[in-house]
């Protein structure tokens, strides 16, 4: 790929508003929600200093880890963006010179420092998440070139790791195995959500050589796979909740899954056209199921404390 020259303003400072735009705040919701689910699933009501730790944890999951991953991605995509989206912060020169790289490195280090202050389990989770962020965007790995691997990495980073982080802060160490299990299941299901996100750029991804799941399988088969990948882990969660004597919570997740299955029928009629609609509807039901599950596990662990 030929290199596109960016605005020559290496000595200038970035516009603060452009730095915030570079961090894509809209993407922070998913990991912050998962972090909240982790807090709830620990089965302890925050008191006193716990609230401060939770607040710092929310900042870690959202602006620090997720926001940093967005900066990393925009820096390593700067050449493509200069052609396709020249108004974005880096190619437009609003984040000039090598400031994008400097911000990515500085934010990574800051996130690790904050994570270390919250405990060793949180530090491990943050290290894995940030490592995946660099591997996702930066050569030589550049995981984003393969949708099968990259979607798994993003699902783990957006759902599983923040969930474990929230639970670890409340538990003061490694969370209960049941928390780890449901966090893993919802991370696996998020692979399907990430696949639906890839529908918006199938042609562009095909032309640039990105092997996303829709590019590899075609829109129809990719949508069918995404639906199965989202539904099966939720069915497993329902079975676990029943096995753990949480029938009402299992019913709640089952109703949410049933509503998703209804919406999936419309999605499958026109995957490319309906993927954004499903991400605004079915995905909302998915994350509500996460919270119901968190309350179920938290109730078990709190009752056994």
SS3 letters for 1-12? Answer: CCCCCCCCCCCC
Paired residues of 146 in beta bridges:
211
CA distances from 238 to 179, 290, 297 (A): 14, 11, 12
pLDDT for the residue 167:
97
* Domain end call among 175, 190, 223: 175
Those residues with Cβ within 8 angstroms of residue 43's Cβ, 6 or more apart along the chain or in another chain: 170, 297, 298, 299, 300, 301, 302, 303, 305
Residue 1 lies in a domain: no
Residue 2 lies in a domain: no
Shared domain for 229 and 214, answered yes or no, is yes
Task: Answer whether residue 8 shows pLDDT above 60.
Answer: no
Shared domain for 152 and 181, answered yes or no, is no
pLDDT for the residue 305:
54
Residue-wise DSSP of 192-219: HHHHHHGGGGHHHHHHHT-B-HHHHH-H
pLDDT digits (tens, 9 = 90+) for 233-242: 999 999 999 9
Q: Where are the alpha helices (DSSP H) in 42-77?
A: 49-59, 67-76
Residue 106 lies in a domain: yes
Shared domain for 56 and 118, answered yes or no, is yes
Shared domain for 157 and 269, answered yes or no, is no
Shared domain for 194 and 302, answered yes or no, is yes
CA Rg value for the chain: 20
* Domain end call among 155, 175, 195: 175
Residue 277 lies in a domain: yes
pLDDT for the residue 161:
97
Shared domain for 216 and 301, answered yes or no, is yes
What's the whole-number mean pLDDT along residues 198-213? 81
- State the Cα–Cα distance between residues 286 and 303, nearest whole angstrom: 26
Tokens describing residue 141: 């790995």
**Percent of the chain scored above 70 by pLDDT?**
95
- State the Cα–Cα distance between residues 21 and 12, nearest whole angstrom: 18
The region of weakest confidence among 9-13, 135-139, 146-150 is 9-13
pLDDT for the residue 83:
79
Q: By residue range, what is the domain housing residue 114?
A: 10-175
Q: What is the CATH number of the domain that holds 100?
A: 1.10.357.140
- State the Cα–Cα distance between residues 29 and 147, nearest whole angstrom: 22
pLDDT band of residue 3 (cuts 50, 70, 90) is very low
**Percent of the chain scored above 90 by pLDDT?**
82
Residue 129 lies in a domain: yes
What's the whole-number mean pLDDT along residues 19-31? 96
What's the whole-number mean pLDDT along residues 132-145? 94
Shared domain for 107 and 152, answered yes or no, is yes
Shared domain for 199 and 155, answered yes or no, is no
Those residues with Cβ within 8 angstroms of residue 224's Cβ, 6 or more apart along the chain or in another chain: 268
Contact status, residue 282 vs residue 264, Cβ threshold 8 Å: yes
pLDDT band of residue 207 (cuts 50, 70, 90) is confident
Shared domain for 40 and 162, answered yes or no, is yes
Residue 5 lies in a domain: no
Count the domains in the chain.
2
pLDDT for the residue 151:
94
Shared domain for 226 and 169, answered yes or no, is no
What's the whole-number mean pLDDT along residues 55-80? 95
pLDDT digits (tens, 9 = 90+) for 164-187: 999 999 999 999 999 999 999 999
pTM of the predicted structure, to 2 decimals: 0.92
- State the Cα–Cα distance between residues 94 and 214, nearest whole angstrom: 33
Average of per-residue pLDDT values in the chain: 92
pLDDT band of residue 209 (cuts 50, 70, 90) is confident
Shared domain for 95 and 205, answered yes or no, is no
Residue 20 lies in a domain: yes
Would you put residue 43 in left (φ > 0), alpha (ψ -120 to 50) or beta?
left
* Domain end call among 160, 175, 190: 175
Shared domain for 191 and 140, answered yes or no, is no
Those residues with Cβ within 8 angstroms of residue 109's Cβ, 6 or more apart along the chain or in another chain: none
Residue 143 lies in a domain: yes
- State the Cα–Cα distance between residues 190 and 160, nearest whole angstrom: 9
Number of H helices, E strands in the chain: 16, 0
- State the Cα–Cα distance between residues 183 and 161, nearest whole angstrom: 8
- State the Cα–Cα distance between residues 152 and 195, nearest whole angstrom: 10
Residue 70 per-residue DSSP state: H
Q: What is the CATH number of the domain that holds 289?
A: 1.20.120
pLDDT for the residue 304:
64
Tokens describing residue 110: 């800051």
pLDDT band of residue 205 (cuts 50, 70, 90) is confident
């Amino acid at each position: 790929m030929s290199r596109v020259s960016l605005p020559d303003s290496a000595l200038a400072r970035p516009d603060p508003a452009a730095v915030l735009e570079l961090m894509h705040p809209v993407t922070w919701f998913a990991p912050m929600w998962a972090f909240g689910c982790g807090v709830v699933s620990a089965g302890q009501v925050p008191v006193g200093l716990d609230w401060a730790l939770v607040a710092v944890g929310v900042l870690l999951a959202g602006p620090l880890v997720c926001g940093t991953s967005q900066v990393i991605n925009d820096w390593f995509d700067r050449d493509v963006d200069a052609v396709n989206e020249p108004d974005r912060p880096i190619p437009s020169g609003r984040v000039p010179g090598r400031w994008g790289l400097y911000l990515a490195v500085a934010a990574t280090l800051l996130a690790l420092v904050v994570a270390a202050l919250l405990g060793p389990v949180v530090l491990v989770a943050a290290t894995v998440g940030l490592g995946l962020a660099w591997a996702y965007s930066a050569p030589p790995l550049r995981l984003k070139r393969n949708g099968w691997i990259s979607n798994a990495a993003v699902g783990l980073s957006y759902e599983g790791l923040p969930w474990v982080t929230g639970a670890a802060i409340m538990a003061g160490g490694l969370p209960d195995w049941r928390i780890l299990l449901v966090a893993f299941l919802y991370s696996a299901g998020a692979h399907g959500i990430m696949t639906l996100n890839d529908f918006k750029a199938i042609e562009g991804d095909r032309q640039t050589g990105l092997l996303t799941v829709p590019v590899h399988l075609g829109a129809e088969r990719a949508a069918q796979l995404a639906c199965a990948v989202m539904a099966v882990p939720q069915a497993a969660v329902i079975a676990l909740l029943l096995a753990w004597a949480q029938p009402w919570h299992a019913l709640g997740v089952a109703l949410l899954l049933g509503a998703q299955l209804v919406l999936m029928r419309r999605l499958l009629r026109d995957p490319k056209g309906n993927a954004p609609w499903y991400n605004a509807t079915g995905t909302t039901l998915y994350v509500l199921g996460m919270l119901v599950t968190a309350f179920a596990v938290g109730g078990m662990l709190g009752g056994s404390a």
